[in-house]
Every structure is written in structure tokens, then in C-alpha cells.
Structure 1
Amino acid sequence: MLELLASVPTKLHHLSFCHQSSPLSDASSTTNLRPCRIKMENIPSAKKLAQVNNLKSIVNNVRQDTAELAVYALSDRRSMRNLSPASRQRNIYLSPEENPSPGPNFNNLMSKSQENSYSKVTDGMTESIISRARPLNTENHGKSSLSNGFRCYLSLNLQCDEMNDPRARPITNTSLDNDFEESLSFNLPSASSNLSEQTPLLQQDIRKRDQNGPVPINDQQDVERQYPTHQGHWSKISDLIESSKIEKFQRFRLIGRPKSWDFQSLWLKSIQTPAQVLPAVTLGLLLNILDALSYGMILFPRGLAPFSKLGPAGISMFYVSCIVSQLVFSCGGSGFKGGVGSEMIEVVPFFHSMAQLILDDMGDGNPSAVVATTLVAYASSSILTGIVFFLIGHFSLGHIVGFIPRHILIGSIGGVGWFLLNTGLEVTAHLDKMEYKTTTLQKLLDPETLLLWLIPLSLAIFQIFTDKKLNFKYYLPAFVMLIPVIFHTVVASFSKLDIPNLRNTGWIFNGSHGEPWWHFYTLYNFSLVNWSSVLKCVPAMFALAFFGILHVPINVPSLAFVIREDNFDIDRELLAHGASNVISGLLGSVQNYLVYTNSVIFIKTGGGSRLAGILLALTTGVFMMTGSSIIGYIPVMMVGVLIFILGIDLLREALWEPRKKLKILEYITVLVIVIVMGIYDFVAGIFVGIGLAFLSLVFQTSRLSAIRAIYSGEVAGSTVRRNPAQSWYLKNVGKQILVFRLTGYLFFGTIASFEKKVCSMIESAASSEQSFRFVVFDFFLVTGIDYSSAEVFGRLNRNMSKKGICLILSGFGGREELQLTLESVGINQSSGVKMFKDLNSALEDCENELLKTLYASQESRNQQTMLVGSLDVPKLPISHLNALVGSYGSPRRSQLRLAAATTLDECPGVAKHLHLKEPLRLILQIFSILTDKK
């Protein structure tokens, strides 16, 4: 490489040529220089050529620096003081105009780089650092740029540490030189030591130090600040806390050093930063309150007698789940600093199903036992969901969740929307249970009940239609908060309207009667729990966990796309969700997850920091402890509006928006899932959807042909170069070779049409007296095969053997799993099936078998020629020969003999060269096709 760089000036005059060598070039230069596509305007100038000439010396200097570093690694810094790298002349990376002298000019260069590096610091500090760094004396330390660079960088860092820490000792040139020499000192045997052939090159203390680990270095010696990192056995857990460990340690260290405090830092960290996130925290708190009033209130089926008064308990459980998830995500669990955690509202239908199951199993004779068992089932489902989340994240299986068909999730979302509409009617119209009967319709149309549900439903529809036209992110919270304001304003305007009467008629919720937020913990009575009923809820728990894990792979990438966060880890988010759900279940609460909508609103309003998330959790906890008394003044229509809005949005997302995106079968699957979930059962709807998705997949994939292409032997031939006679013959008999190129995954859905196609082609060929002799199946593009498909090939082999057709399989090079699957059903060499690694080998074998007929006919004709001698035997025309060979044998054998006879008679240079010996006969046969001259 150095010789090539040195020869650049001598080769500039022929850089534009690729294959020619200039006679003016030096004989010692490289001869095969091919600088193609170099334009004349890109040829370097004389100034740049001067820099290129210095490359050789620069490379030598770099090699010497590498050698010095290798010596430093083997040296001991506690002996051999005042020894620096060997002095040498070197050229700095400057042009000749900037550095005309060969001597070192490193101090000037470093002073320039220091001024550029610290330009962002205040002017006074910059001048102080530069003035104190310039007078370094480097004459006693050789002229190594690497050594001087370390010394200069070390001086800057030490002086910066001195300015930040007043307790640091003053730095002088002498102390700096001693520190630097100590960090680069050697450990060599002294002159008085006895040296012999057995003296180890590496001293004892060095070997001990190497065995114990790396050489310990302090902050002043480790100029690159590369601290060693240690990982525990559970790397996934350590990764969750490693990101915030250093930052937290530095903060605690700062708190423990009051002398380092200053007013500006206190104002920035304690007042200004929290004040900047207060608007986002306020909005996030408002969203949590609205969600708690809407979905926490319906956490228990209020239409059932044992759960009719558990609305406040559901709100408290909602807050606990929300606070736990927010703290886990904001304290380093999630990669999204402004992520908002909340209760998983989509699990409410599962909770109602479990509550109904427990009530049916235990009866309503002991309401306390029913409530205690239901609470244990709720908390157990949260723990189970967290374990599933944690296992998927720990084993890095987050990408597998994406394999679940999307239309199943869409149908589940639609089922949740249907459920929310039913729940909204139950809450606003005070229905015991939503049943599709005439009695339910009569109660909904009753004049005393009609306005209770019609007003919130109308307001929800109005908000949905106006939200599209008003592009205002605070429109929904403002719209919902105006409902109680207007309601109580109207109540205060009319004296006939009083709060107690409105509670009795169903316009306002009944109060919690002074229950504290922790009252739901008193309902946990493990002595009353019926564990057999809890075990009966396990299928619903697993269905709930299955439905819960579908949201994370969807919400996380969607949130990352909106906030432009490219470095997210789905497995880390799953681990965080697992921790938050397990903790929530242990605290007696329910499932939670990262809410996409709330997170987007929270981040866009200035809450994109972990401090904002922690403050949101704290304010939510404060409101949970102090705000339970306001439930008795909340209008029912306020909660009903929120439930109706979400239900209509989910139904629109599931049924209206994908109507033109999904295929017919997929859309029918979505409709069936929504109807089954809404009318019959939520868990059954998920399993019905999975079954329909499986049937839809089989039906759609079965319509795809497993045959990529079909070739005849006339078109598909091997790559073997054959003589004209053989090529002529193979072209005539190539119809007896049939090649199928298969593709995709062969399973029971696609193999039926494949078998039908193959059998029909064989039967049609046999009926037209043009039967095949070889049928080749190429598996090169096949990704896999199941047992049903393998049995089909066994059946084809048995049918073809009866008809004298040879089955050949190819494309097994490096595909042992396919070959083993076929061998498991008896397809091997002993069954008469030939297997080859590629299609070319299979075709070559077929051609060789066909050529044997040609050679047999040729030998037979040679023997006849030797017997008759010189007798003049009249030759029959081809038409008579065709009738003769057709009178005996099968159509395949007749075609082969006819083709052989035609080849020997009509192929150029075949019949007339039979009496010659090799290699003259081969040469004449080859050249006979090029000319008709003798």
C-alpha cells in the first residue's frame, strides 16, 4: 500500500485508462493499477499531492504509537520512573503551508482544538482554562504526539475538576508531570538484579495483576473515562435499572454535598422544571379521573346484587392500578419517558364474565364470600397476565405476538365496543342486565327511563361528529367537564330540582357513604374464598392474558411512530408490563398497560419526561385519598357520555374503517367475533375468531397453487454439453420427461389440488398415447411439507409405478428436513424413487436413461451391418418404419425406437461416420453440423 501511495505522482498522466500501461511509468511501480471512472477534474492538486507524500511517514508514526501502547499495556507504573517514549521527528496532520518545519507543532494544534472544544463555555472560564493549559512543558517527555495529547487532555480535565471542586489540590506543572509519568511508568528489572535465561519476561506482580483482572485506574489516570460495566445473571432485569442507575447516583451524591449547591441549579431542578410539566400533569390527572369514573365504576357488574354497591371500590382499584403502572413506567421500566399507564379497560368484559361465573357457582346466599372470591379472581388474573408478559419479554419473544392475525384483534376491539354500548345502557338506564328481550326494550322506551340514556347517547354522537371538524386536542376533556357544570347550573336554577330527588330518580350517582379509598381491602376475606370457583375462572384468565398481550405490540410501535422514537425495545416494554401487572395483582388491583391515546396527549402537552410521569402518579394518589366524596355529585350522564363515545369509536374502528381493507372472509370473521362477544360470551368470541381465522387461512392458501411451473423435457434440459446426435435424439424424445417446479409450504390445504392436477395430466397423456416415462418434482422453492402432503407423494409413487412411470425428486441440497419427512412415509431409494440434490442432476439422469435406447439401437444396427457385409439391402421409408415399430411394444418404447431410428438415419454426420474410430468420428460429427462439404 505504501508503494502504491508513493507512486501516485508518477501515474497521474494515465489515471483515466483501465487496461493500458504507460511507457512513462516507473518499472518498479504496480503494473495492474486500475483507477477506472476517475474524471480529470477529480485529480488532486499539487497541494493535495504534497499531503499524500506525507502519508508514508504518518503511517509509520501510527505504527510506532501502536507499539508504544503495546509496551504500556505490559508495563508496571510503579517502577522505571521518568521514562517516556522514544523521541522522534514526526509530521502532524497539517498541510505543508501550515506546518513547513518537520519538527512537532503539537502545542499550537492543541491550543486551537482547545479553543474550539470549549467555545460553549463562558468567556471567563474559557480564558482561564486556555491560559492555564498552554504553558505546559513537553520538552522532557519526548516528541510523541500521543503522549503530549494525553498530557494536555489530562491537564484540562484536572483543571476543570479543580474549578468545580474547591477542595481539590492546586495543580502545577511539576505535579502534573509527576502524575503523568506515574501513569506511564514502566516496570523493568533493575540493573542490580540477577538476570538469566530463566528470568520471566513478565514480572510476578504483573502476572498476579493480570489474573485478578484489569489494572485499577482512578479518574485522573483514565483519561478516556471508560469505566468497566458489570452485568448480573438476569441481564434483562439489570437492563431495566441500568439506564437510570448512574443518574440517580449522581443526584443522591449532589444532595449529600450541600456546598456544591447553587441557587441557579436549585431553581432549575426544584421550581422551573416541575412548573414546566404542570399543564401536562394536570391534563393527565383529568384523564385519569374521567377514566376512573367511567371504567372504574363499571369494574363490577352493578346489575348483580352482590356487586351493586361496589362502584367506589372499583374506582379505588382503578387508581391503584394506574399509580402502580405509572411508577413502573416512569422510574425506568419503559423506554418512553412520557408514557402514561392506566387500567386495561378492555378486560372489563372478562371481569363481568368471571363475576357471573362465580355467582352462578356459589349462589347469592353469601354475598361477602362471592365478593371475596371475585376480588381474588381479579387479582390472580392480573398476576397471571404479568407472568405471561414477563416470560415473553424475558425470552425475547415479543415479535411472535405479531404473528396473531390482525383481524382477530379488530374483531375483539369491536366486541369491546359492543360491550361498552351495552354497559352504557345499563349504567344510564339502570338496567339489571342487558338482555335482548322485549321487556328490556319496553323499559328503555319507558318515559321515565328514555331521557336517562337518550341524552348521553345524543351528546356522545354530537361529540364524535364535531370532533372531526374541531381540530382541538383538549376538546374531549373540555366537553366532558362542561357536562357537570351545565347540569348543576340547571339544577341550581330550578328550585324544584334537588340533589336527593335526582339521586333517587337516577340522574346522579349514590355517594360512597364516607368510605375511604382503602375500603376494598377490607373485602378481601381469604377465609371465605371458594378456591374451586377461582379455578373455574382460569380459562377466562388465560383468554384475558391472551387479549392483553395483543395490545403491547400494537400500542408500543404506534406510540414510537407518533413521538418519533426509533430506539424502542418491545421486549423491554413487555418486561415493564409484566412487573407492573404482577405488582398490581399483589396489591389487590387489576391489569394495566401503556395507554396509547393518553400517552400521546400527555407527551404533546409537555409531559415527555420521567419527572412528569412521577408527578402524575403522585397527584393521582393524592386525589384517590381525598376525592372520593365527590362521587355523590357526579351526573350519571357524564359517565354515560364517556362510555358511549369509546364504544362507538371502537365499533367504528372495527366495522366501518376496515370494510374496504379486509378481504371478504376476514371481514366476515370480524362480524362473527363482534356478534358472538356481544350476544353470547366474550371468551367464546375469541376462540370462535381463532377458529374462523384458521379456516379462512386454509381456504385462502388452498386457492394458491403449489405448482410454480410445468416444463417438458423438450424445454427443460440439463446443462451437459452433448454431441449433435444425442442432442437431436433428446429433442425428439423430451416429451417423455415431465417437470413440476413446486413452491411454498405444502400442507393439506394445497396438496389436494396439486394431486388432482398431476393425476389429470398423467391420465390425459396416457389416453393420447404420449405417456410420460419420468415425472420430476423439484423441491428447491419448497419451504416445508407436512405429513399429509408427504403421504400424497407416496400415493403418487404407487400409482405411477403401476403405469411404468419413474418418480424423481430433486432440490434436496441442504434440505435434510424435507428428505426426512418424505422418508417417514416410505419414499426412498428402495421404493423406486430417485432423489437428487438439484434439478440439473435429475434431468441429467433422465437423459442418460433415454440415451441408452439410442446406444442400443446403434449397437444393433452396427451388428446388422457387420452381418450383411456388402449386400445391398433396400431401406424402408420412415412412414413404413413408423407402422412397423408401432405394431409391438408400448407407446413410450415405440417412440424411443422411432426417435433412435430417425436420429441414426437423418441426423447429419451420424450414419456415415459409424465405421470410423474415435476420436476421428467425434470430430467429424461435430464439424458436420457446420458445413455440408465432405
Structure 2
Amino acid sequence: MFKNLKNDLPASLVVFFVALPLCLGIALASGAPLFSGVIAGIIGGIVVGGLSGSSIGVSGPAAGLAVIVFAAIANLGFENFLVAVVIGGALQILLGILRAGVIGYYFPSSVIKGMLAGIGIIIFVKQIPLVFGIDSSAVSAEGLGELFSLINPSVVIISVLSLGILLLWDKVLVKKHDIFKVIPGPLVAVVVGVVYFLFSQSVSGLQISGNQLVNVPVPEDFNSFIGQFSFPNFAALSNPEVWITGFTIAVVASLETLLCVEATDKLDPEKRITPTNRELLAQGAGNMLSGFIGGLPITQVIVRSSTNLHAGGKTKLSPILHGFLILISVILIPTFLNMIPIAVLASVLLIVGYKLAKPELFKRMISLGASQFVPFIITVLGVVFADLLIGIGLGLAVGIITILINSYQNSHFLQVEQKDNGGQVVKMTLAEEISFLNKGAILNELNRLPEQAVLELDVRKTVRLNYDILEILDDFAYTSKQKNIGVRLITAQGIVENPNNFSTLLSSKTKKEVA
């Protein structure tokens, strides 16, 4: 694990600087104590990172759970909510033992790519007010004209400096010398941001206010640090609402994690496969511990994971180190952390968001055709304009509809020939897999056969034939005589003229399908 330390250590620093404000921001959005987000980030890095089989996935508090957490805390109270987090973790461990991790593999690639692109767009858009020094709450409260008056020129300067450093590092300097691969660009941007902050405080008109800086709780002593931890009220175990919340956390957190695992594995240039059942066990253990000591629910998070990947992370050492860095920083240097301008971190996330939703991705999905692009774009729109789970659900629904349409269209091959007496010979070759989904297509073809026609039904390539189809064929064997339609069944064993019963002749294919 330590052989890639030169890559993992710089990557862990980058992930740390991205993860820390996200931990605080998600806690704020969840209506929870800020320190609960920090706890979740520490456990997500050290505990989940250590137990997980993922090489580059990074776990922590998830924005996708913020709405659920906010409502649960308002309804139950924070200490009772922590009991639900513990229950959710225990249920995740149970899911891992039951080997439920395979669920993530049933989501189409187009939906996963749409999820990544949608998250990238959200990340990118949410940073725009921050790089101009505008409070995000003012965006909805003020009109467009008034927003221009809220722009902080000093914040714009640090944003331009940060973006310049990041782009220069990524596009030019890393290709010039190996030293620029060891020292991450985001770390340089953070250092420059802190230096600029110290300089700006002494220059009139360039000051950066407190809400434009990272805001980590600063403990006065060890006792005040310990006092930031909260503990669950297990007397609430008798409350059904706690169990419902725990079940909801387990399901949503597991689904988000499995989709993130699938997405992260696709981004991994080494194409390593994460063991999903082990991931559920790791996430469950992390959530149980997080709930025990006052932390928010944890999932694997695509923002941190993709940041880790783009920063050059190679092994699980990077997520583990980032957890230790969060722990050390909030103990030893909280005052220094509070000098980092939010605009620097927003600049880092602008780059991350752009890489997740590159225009080239949309062009590539269009080139793959409607069956890939439609579920992709529906997922993107759902994630951006609704939320993560709604977007995934819509994309999955469209993907299933696409499969049903393709299955309906690809059940058989039809060739029509004219006989000398003016009649028709209709040759119908059934596909390898015929299920109840193909009933409509085959029934329509049989009903359209004209009187005096001859149907040649070729099942030599068919491996599995659903019983519903046999029922349709048996009914057709009866009605075909009324319409004077000749039937010729072609099987691997030979040709049967005008069979009275298809079920007996094709029962072996039905048994294979049932088996």
C-alpha cells in the first residue's frame, strides 16, 4: 500500500482541502452541529477507507442525504437521530452479509454517466457565486441586478489566481517536471490564498469577510474538544420513527454508495473492481461508529473520489491519510484553516465539476445513439433539477423502457415470399431468448397472416422459449385451420407439418427457460 506514497500523499492533501469544507457545508445544510460533519469525514477516511476494498473511493458525509437528515433531526432531535444512524449502519452490515452489493451492477452505464455529469453540473454551478464572493443565500433573495453589487473584487482576484494556478499546474507544469506531480496544484492555490488573505487584511478595500473563509470550530482546550462529541439516546429505540429513519438511511446510503462505487470504478484508469459486499460492510461499520460518537451518515462520495483520482491517488492509502489530516487539522491548526478563502476551494471544485461534465462526454453519448443518450440526458436533468435519487430513478425507468422496446422489436426475423398462386409464404425465425415481453410482437404478426398463407416457424436458434409464447402458438394452431393457414415448424430435429400442439414439441425449450 505504501509503494505509491509519492502519489497518494499529495492526493490526500488535495482531497483533504476539498473534503473539509464539504464536511462543514453538509452539516450546515443538514441542520446538524458542524462538528458532526467533521466526525463523519474522519471516520469515512480512516475507518471506512481502511475496511473498504476500493482503491480510490473516498467516503464521508453525503450531500444526497442532507434533505433526509435535516427532516429527521427536526422530527426526532439530534441524539435520537444518532440512534437511527447506528441502526442504518447495522442494516448495511446485514445487507453486506446477505451479499446485496450486486444491486449496483443492475444500473445501466448510461445512467451512471448521467449521474456523474449531473453531479458535475451541480458542483460547477454552486461554486459560481462563491468565486465572486456572493453569499449563496443572496442568489435567491436578490434580483440579478442587485447581485452584481454584491460581488467582492478581492474574492474575484483570489478566484482568478487560484484558477490560473490550477490550470497552469494541470495543463503545463505537470508535463514539465516530476516535482510538479509531487506538489499538488490545489495545495499551492491554498497557500497562495492564505498569503493573499493575510496581505488583504492590511489593504483598504481588499478585506475578505468571515463568511468568505473556512469556518472550523476552534476548541479552547482538550475538554472543549471532547465536548463537541454527541452520543445517541438509546432510549429512543422504542420509537418506530427512529427505526423508519434508520431503514431509510440504510437504503439510500447503500444505493448512493453502490452507484458511486460503479462510477468510480469506471473512472479508474487501472479498471480495478471494488468488492461491493465488502463495501457495504465497511460503510455499515463506519455509520455505526459515526452514530455512536455524534457523526452524520456516511457514504462513498463521487466528489471526493473523483478529486482523489484527478489528483493522482493510486491506492486506499490516500483516503486513509485524508481522514488523519482532517483529524490532525481540527486539533492542531483550526485557526490556520480558518484563513483559507472559500473561493480557493470553490475554484478546485469548479475544475472537478467541469471534468465530470465535459462537453466531450455529451458529444460521445449523442454519437452512441438514442438508446444510450436518452437515459443519459434524462438522468442528468433529473439530478440537476430534482435530486440524485429521482434522477437515477428516471434514468433507470427510461433505460428499462428502452430495453422493453428493443426486446419487442428483436423477438423475431420475418421474411415474406409470394407463391405462384398469389398466396404468401411467411418465414418467421425466432430469436434465442423469447419471453413474455415478446408476446405482443409475435401475436401481432400471427394475427396479420392472411388466409391461404403458409407460416414457416423456425426455432432452431431458440434456446429459451417462455410458456406464454407456447400458449399463443397453441391457440394459433387451432385458429390457423379456420383461416386455411398452413404451418410448418422447423426444429433442430426436423420439420413438422401443421402441428396440433406446440407445447409438446417444444417442451424442452420451455424446461430450459424454467430452469
Q: Tell me the TM-score normalised to structure 2 length.
A: 0.75
1:557: Cα distance to partner? Answer: 7.1
Identity of aligned residues (%): 13
Aligned to 1:289: 16
For 1:482 and 1:518, the matched residues in 2 are separated by 32
For 1:596 and 1:753, the matched residues in 2 are separated by 44
Q: Which has the larger radius of gyration?
A: 1
**Mapped pair 1:797 → 2:472:** no
8 Å contact 1:738–1:775 — kept in the other structure?
yes
For 2:155 and 2:478, the matched residues in 1 are separated by 71
Matches within 5 A, 1:324-335: 324-329=47-52, 334=53
8 Å contact 1:287–1:477 — kept in the other structure?
no
8 Å contact 1:425–1:431 — kept in the other structure?
no
**2:134 paired residue among 417, 420, 429:** 429
Encode CA deviations 1:274-313: one digit per residue, 9 max, x unaligned. Answer: 8x876456424413421322422222244x7x44xx3343
AA partner of residue 521 (structure 1)? F
1:318: Cα distance to partner? Answer: 0.3
**Mapped pair 1:372 → 2:79:** yes
1:475: Cα distance to partner? Answer: 6.6
1:687: Cα distance to partner? Answer: 1.6
1:596: Cα distance to partner? Answer: 6.6
**Mapped pair 1:698 → 2:408:** no
For 1:649 and 1:290, the matched residues in 2 are separated by 18
Aligned to 1:561: 270
Aligned to 1:549: 258
For 2:225 and 2:491, the matched residues in 1 are separated by 69
Encode CA deviations 1:636-679: one digit per residue, 9 max, x unaligned. Answer: 11222233222222222795353344322432322222222222
Encode CA deviations 1:122-162: one digit per residue, 9 max, x unaligned. Answer: xxxxxxxxxxxxxxxxxxxxxxxxxxxxxxxxxxxxxxxxx
Question: Structure 1 residues 664-673 or 383-392, which shifts more?
Answer: 383-392
8 Å contact 2:118–2:384 — kept in the other structure?
yes
Encode CA deviations 1:623-645: one digit per residue, 9 max, x unaligned. Answer: 45434443322211122223322
Aligned to 2:230: 522
**Mapped pair 1:311 → 2:34:** yes
8 Å contact 2:430–2:458 — kept in the other structure?
yes
Query: Structure 1: where are the runs of 5+ without partners?
Result: 1-272, 363-368, 563-567, 715-731, 814-827, 839-934
Encode CA deviations 1:744-776: one digit per residue, 9 max, x unaligned. Answer: 43346544444444444x31xx3xxxx24x634
Aligned to 2:369: 663
For 1:443 and 1:385, the matched residues in 2 are separated by 49
AA partner of residue 514 (structure 1)? P
**Mapped pair 1:391 → 2:118:** no
AA partner of residue 315 (structure 1)? V
**1:508 paired residue among 194, 208, 213:** 213
8 Å contact 2:213–2:340 — kept in the other structure?
yes
**Mapped pair 1:645 → 2:351:** yes
- Which protein, 1 or 2, shows the higher relative CO under an 8 Å CA cutoff with sep ≥ 6? 2
Aligned to 1:419: 122
Matches within 5 A, 1:223-302: 279-280=6-7, 282-302=9-29
- Would the alpha carbon gap of residues 792 and 683 (structure 1) be closer, same or farther in structure 2, given more than 3 Å must change? same
Aligned to 1:847: none
**Mapped pair 1:321 → 2:48:** no
For 1:314 and 1:491, the matched residues in 2 are separated by 25
Encode CA deviations 1:809-841: one digit per residue, 9 max, x unaligned. Answer: 55488xxxxxxxxxxxxxx98x65585469xxx
For 2:475 and 2:284, the matched residues in 1 are separated by 54
For 1:609 and 1:665, the matched residues in 2 are separated by 36
Aligned to 1:591: 299
1:407: Cα distance to partner? Answer: 0.9
- Would the alpha carbon gap of residues 517 and 738 (structure 1) be closer, same or farther in structure 2, given more than 3 Å must change? same
Aligned to 1:726: none
For 2:138 and 2:68, the matched residues in 1 are separated by 15
Aligned to 1:351: 65
Matches within 5 A, 1:109-120: none
For 2:161 and 2:182, the matched residues in 1 are separated by 12
Secondary structure of the residue that 1:522 maps to in structure 2? Answer: coil
AA partner of residue 742 (structure 1)? L
1:405: Cα distance to partner? Answer: 0.8
1:454: Cα distance to partner? Answer: 5.8
8 Å contact 2:154–2:208 — kept in the other structure?
no
Encode CA deviations 1:772-798: one digit per residue, 9 max, x unaligned. Answer: 4x6342323234445664554355334
Secondary structure of the residue that 2:212 maps to in structure 1? Answer: coil
Encode CA deviations 1:424-460: one digit per residue, 9 max, x unaligned. Answer: 357663334976xxx4554872422465886677667
8 Å contact 1:429–1:453 — kept in the other structure?
no
For 1:784 and 1:377, the matched residues in 2 are separated by 46
8 Å contact 1:807–1:832 — kept in the other structure?
no
For 1:341 and 1:672, the matched residues in 2 are separated by 26
**1:580 paired residue among 282, 300, 304:** 282
**Mapped pair 1:687 → 2:396:** no
Secondary structure of the residue that 2:399 maps to in structure 1? Answer: helix
For 2:206 and 2:171, the matched residues in 1 are separated by 38
Secondary structure of the residue that 2:26 maps to in structure 1? Answer: coil
8 Å contact 2:212–2:341 — kept in the other structure?
yes
How much is the aligned-residue C-alpha RMSD, in angstroms? Answer: 4.6
